[in-house]
């Protein structure tokens, strides 16, 4: 293991333009469960209940969605960045970081102190809510108070439209500008590090694929195997906070 970590340290030292791609596994050590590990969110909720078209068409689906959302937000609102988030902040401090492409909606890269412009939240954020009709934006905590006071499905104050957290659901279109930015960085990075992602969700998983296609080196740090392991220059199946912390030396 020490050899693998040293190899990673060397690759990071040689890199000039790094792209970090993060998934839910980065935040499990901050107390936020991932989706696919045992005990994760998909053990409790049926993903097919949470598709975007069902959310739009069925009040019952919206009740289930907000139930899940309240439970999930409770785990993330006060969560704090762990050693892996801080190691990524250190990479920015060393002027090595092009950008972070994150599938996480938990704001922990912001809390770790990375520059907001460098954080590309391709699946959105759980910390704001928008009206799907008029676009009015709300802080999540404002909506949270309503939900905690017994409202099962909140609606827009201005137009009565359907409110939804600013996260991307299955079947909802991806944010085009953010994806374009992610692919632009993937085409110019010299080292891409994937951390804590099963890489089964597309198009997120195509970002490191694009990096490799454009000649970048690839490191994967994830507890379980991923479909891109065979294309990586270095793969470590272990705790991301421990391994990245050691690699970066914090």
**Is residue 239 at the binding interface for ligand CNA, with CB under 6 A as the rule?**
yes
Encoded one letter per residue, x for contact with ligand CNA by CB under 6 A and - for no contact, window 86-125 reads -----------------xxxx----------------x--
Joined together, the tokens standing for residue 188 give 């110019």
Encoded one letter per residue, x for contact with ligand CNA by CB under 6 A and - for no contact, window 2-21 reads --------------------
Give 28 or 69: the residue with its C-beta nearer to ligand CNA. Answer: 28
Residues in the chain: 250
Q: From the candidates 107, 123, 185, 237, which is the catalytic residue? A: 123
Q: Of the listed pieces 22-30, 43-51, 93-101, 142-150, which binds ligand CNA according to CB under 6 A?
A: 22-30
Alpha carbons within 13 A on the beta-carbon side of 83: 13
User: Has 185 been annotated as catalytic?
Assistant: no
Return the closest-CA partner of residue 21 out of 159, 198, 144: 198
Check: CB of residue 99 under 8 Å from CB of residue 19.
yes
Contacts of ligand CNA in 36-65 (CB under 6 A): 36-37, 40-41
Q: In what order do the strands lie in the sheet with 137-139?
A: 137-139, 124-131, 163-167
Q: In what order do the strands lie in the sheet with 18-22?
A: 119-121, 97-102, 18-22, 191-195, 217-221, 234-236
Interface with ligand CNA by CB under 6 A: which residues?
A: 23-25, 27-29, 32, 34-37, 40-41, 103-106, 123, 196-198, 200-201, 222-224, 239-240
């Amino acid at each position: 293991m020490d050899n693998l970590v040293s190899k990673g340290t060397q690759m990071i030292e040689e890199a000039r333009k790094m792209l970090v791609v993060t998934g839910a596994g980065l935040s499990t050590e901050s107390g936020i469960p991932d989706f696919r590990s045992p005990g994760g969110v998909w053990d409790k909720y049926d993903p097919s209940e949470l598709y975007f078209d069902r959310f739009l068409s069925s009040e019952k689906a919206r009740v289930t969605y907000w139930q899940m959302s309240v439970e999930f937000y409770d785990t993330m609102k006060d969560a704090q960045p762990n050693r892996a988030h801080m190691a990524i902040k250190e990479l920015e401090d060393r002027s090595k970081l092009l950008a972070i492409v994150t599938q996480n909606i938990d704001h922990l890269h912001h809390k770790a102190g990375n520059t907001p412009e460098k954080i590309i939240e391709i699946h959105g954020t759980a910390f704001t809510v928008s009206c799907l009709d008029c676009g009015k934006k709300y802080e999540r905590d404002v909506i949270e108070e309503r939900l905690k006071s017994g409202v099962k499905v909140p609606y827009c104050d201005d137009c009565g439209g359907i409110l939804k957290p600013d996260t991307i659901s299955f079947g909802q279109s991806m944010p085009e500008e953010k994806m374009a930015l992610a692919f632009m960085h993937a085409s110019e990075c010299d080292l891409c590090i994937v951390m804590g992602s099963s890489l089964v969700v597309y198009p997120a998983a195509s970002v490191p694929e694009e990096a490799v296609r454009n000649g970048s080196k690839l490191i994967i740090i994830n507890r379980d195997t991923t479909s891109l392991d065979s294309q990586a220059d270095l793969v470590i199946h272990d705790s991301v906070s421990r391994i990245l912390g050691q690699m970066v030396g914090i």
